[in-house]
Homo-oligomer: A and B are copies of this chain.
């Protein structure tokens, strides 16, 4: 990506991981913007860039702006972000926002969406991550694809509609899955049992879906609707009405599927 000046707008979990992945591939990042000085400075230091916390001080001569802000923050800051950058490609990183979120004054609209869960505490390997791109021109598709291919082996064009659908499925597969871990952890704390008892089970559950469809891979009391066990579990949850409700609803759904 010789000759392309890239600026990151945002320094959260996604921006941090993505900027580091670029940096590791010797792709120069000129500047980091974040509302939080601490985040801006921390990331800027790691990737050897300038930083600012003022939208008006975002440099205007970059070729590509990667906008990795929370959806509502992006919408709120939009006018201040795009001002004076009419020549440049603006690419957001959201699974749920369409390409058309960019107003007409932005001539070169783009999306650069890595399908992954990011935390600052854990560096992810981008090679296997699916990276979905979209833009409103053949040239910018090519540019985003070339950039994406520097860090990932799985780059794919995807429309805004398909990306939104994929994002919904990802919420089930990632956030809701992680919440099942969190509820299990909560129970084990109550019972004074260590969470690490579950780790090999969690690992195997994940590994199985590389080989079997999740429907085929299902085991446990709900799939055979073993009412005896289910009722005993509901008894155990008698002080946890919310977890009881989740238990019942998911068990029924497993049995139905």
Which positions in A face B, CB cutoff 8 Å?
A: 13, 70-72, 96, 115-119, 121-122, 124, 128-130, 154, 162, 164-166, 168-188, 191, 193, 195, 197-224, 226, 228-229, 232-233, 236-237, 242-243, 245-247, 249-250, 252-254, 256-257
> Contact at A184–B172, with CB atoms within 8 Å?
yes
Quick one: given A200-B128, A200-B129, A233-B171, are A182 and B215 in contact (CB under 8 Å)?
yes
Quick one: given A116-B201, A174-B205, A204-B116, are A72 and B228 in contact (CB under 8 Å)?
yes
Q: Main secondary structure on chain A at its contact with chain B?
A: helix
> Contact at B124–A204, with CB atoms within 8 Å?
yes
Which chain B positions have C-beta within 8 A of A221? 96, 171, 175
> Contact at B193–A166, with CB atoms within 8 Å?
yes
- Could you list 13 further interchain pairs (A-B, Cβ under 8 angstroms) beyond the known A169-B187, A178-B205, A178-B209? A96-B229, A115-B197, A115-B198, A116-B200, A154-B200, A162-B193, A165-B191, A165-B193, A169-B193, A171-B221, A173-B181, A174-B220, A183-B253
CA A24 to CA B256, docked complex, whole Å: 38
Which chain B positions have C-beta within 8 A of A117? 201, 204-205, 208, 217, 219-220
Which chain B positions have C-beta within 8 A of A70? 224, 226
CA A124 to CA B204, docked complex, whole Å: 8
CA A179 to CA B206, docked complex, whole Å: 11
> Contact at B179–A253, with CB atoms within 8 Å?
yes
Quick one: given A179-B254, A254-B179, are A184 and B173 in contact (CB under 8 Å)?
yes
